[in-house]
Structure 1
Amino acid sequence: MNRRRRIAALALVFAVNISLIAFAQQAQAATYRQGSSGEQVRVIQTKLKNWGYYDGAVDGVFGSQTTQAVKYFQRKNGLTADGIVGPATLKALGMSGGGSPAEARGEPYSGQVAVGAVILNRVEHPSFPNTIAGVVYQPGAFTCMVDGQFNEPVAESAVRAARDALNGVDPSGGAIYYFNPATATSSWIWSRPLILQIGNHRFCA
């Protein structure tokens, strides 16, 4: 009985998180600073490196070297040199504007399950946190987690998708990344090996 309750609770938490990821848009006012990590940090590092501000590793981890590079970039561009990548710095980096949908809503059902599977695949992958909550709330991993859109209703299909993913269904083929090529702003994400495409999303290793 306790195990059944745990599975039910996990499915509910998982469904809510899928819903957040599915419905939310990229944050126009997202902020990245030392301690942040994820795809958007990789984009920041890539841009800074391409423009000669950063010579460290493009690893998606916002460390002290990235902070110094951001401060250098900010000084050269007339911004407050605080080492924090907020709206003004994002705009200067060419990373703001519009908030493109990063969503599974309107995608085929198998695509919704695949988005959930990506989260679970990350839990099992050594490069990511080893819990669902850790993956979903990893700083910078999913922009919807920093834009405050926590009140979207949980679609019935998201609940079913969560249950299917938790039961081992993985239409993504083991992917740990996904993105919409029509809205992606990261050049780094295109370097990830493509596994397959479902609807508008490319699922990658």
Structure 2
Amino acid sequence: MPLRSLCSLLLACIIIALSITTVYAQPTLRWGSQGGDVYDLQGRLKKIGYYHGKIDGIFGRQTYWAVRNFQYRFGMKVDGVAGKQTWSMLKRATSNLPKKSQSAVSTSYGLSANDINLLTRAVYSEARGEPYEGQVAIAAVILNRVESSKFPNTISGVIFEPRAFTAIADGQFWLTPNHTAKKAAYDAINGWDPTGGAIYYFNPNTATSPWIWSRPQVRRIGKHIFSY
């Protein structure tokens, strides 16, 4: 084969190889993304202990929190979005990982032990004595606030935001929570949201703010009304 033709053939092969690399580069994934790349993301996060749910190819709450916790532990911007930097770090973290370390990298459901403790305390102090669904709903509201741009993007930031929760002001937040409150917190983390996305709640028997009554109401569970 003439040298010129050989060079042309090699150049064509290089172009094709570069094109293939571009085509198969993982896209940016965020809440609501679906498909094969999400399966890959969940599988990698599960391999190193950050994801504990079903690998279903749907980027929902558990995947979101798993990504956030991974980003935090590896010193990246914590936004719950699997972009170029997150993918790069994730591939490095899952390559040649010793089997004995695969289950000890993170805490349950992509949250720290402190996050879960704070969420459990909030449920107990704000909703003990409420029906179980109502306790899950309180935890869901807190998680919904974390995901909303209107509030701080951490559980501690949401809970300790000034004047956000009565239990913080009156000290009841520091009561020792029971097993039911912890279970309710885990159910909310695992995706159960009885409120359908509410970010506020109030007791109509004690609420005095005209503003909270003006919010679009979703439903009532026990003594609380949940709203947007």
* Structure 1 and Structure 2 fold alike (TM over 0.5): yes
Give the alignment's TM-score, normalised by structure 1: 0.55
Amino acid corresponding to residue 195 of structure 1 in structure 2: V
Aligned to 1:120: 143
Identity of aligned residues (%): 53
Aligned to 2:192: 169
SS at match of 1:119: helix
Query: Aligned pair 1:10/2:112, yes or no?
Result: yes
Deviation at 1:145, TM superposition (A): 1.8
Give the alignment's TM-score, normalised by structure 2: 0.50
1:148-175 superposed Cα distances (whole Å, 9 cap, x missing partner): 3453111111100010011111001100
Aligned to 1:26: none
SS at match of 1:196: strand
| 5+ residue gaps, structure 1 | 24-102
Native 8 Å contact 2:201 2:227 kept in 1: yes
Change (3 A) 1:174 1:11: farther
When the two chains are superposed, the root-mean-square deviation of aligned CA atoms in Å is 2.1
In terms of Rg, which structure is larger?
Answer: 2
| 5+ residue gaps, structure 2 | 1-102
Partners of 1:163 and 1:14 in 2: how far apart? 8
1:23-78 superposed Cα distances (whole Å, 9 cap, x missing partner): 2xxxxxxxxxxxxxxxxxxxxxxxxxxxxxxxxxxxxxxxxxxxxxxxxxxxxxxx
Listed as ranges, the matches of 1:68-107 within 5 Å are: 103-107=126-130
SS at match of 1:182: coil
- Number of matched pairs: 126
The one of the two structures with greater contact order (alpha-carbon pairs below 8 A, sep at least 6) is 1
Deviation at 1:203, TM superposition (A): 0.5
Aligned to 2:165: 142
Amino acid corresponding to residue 174 of structure 1 in structure 2: G
The structure with the greater share of residues assigned to helix is 2
Amino acid corresponding to residue 142 of structure 2 in structure 1: I
Aligned to 1:98: none
Native 8 Å contact 1:15 1:158 kept in 2: no
Query: Aligned pair 1:156/2:179, yes or no?
Result: yes
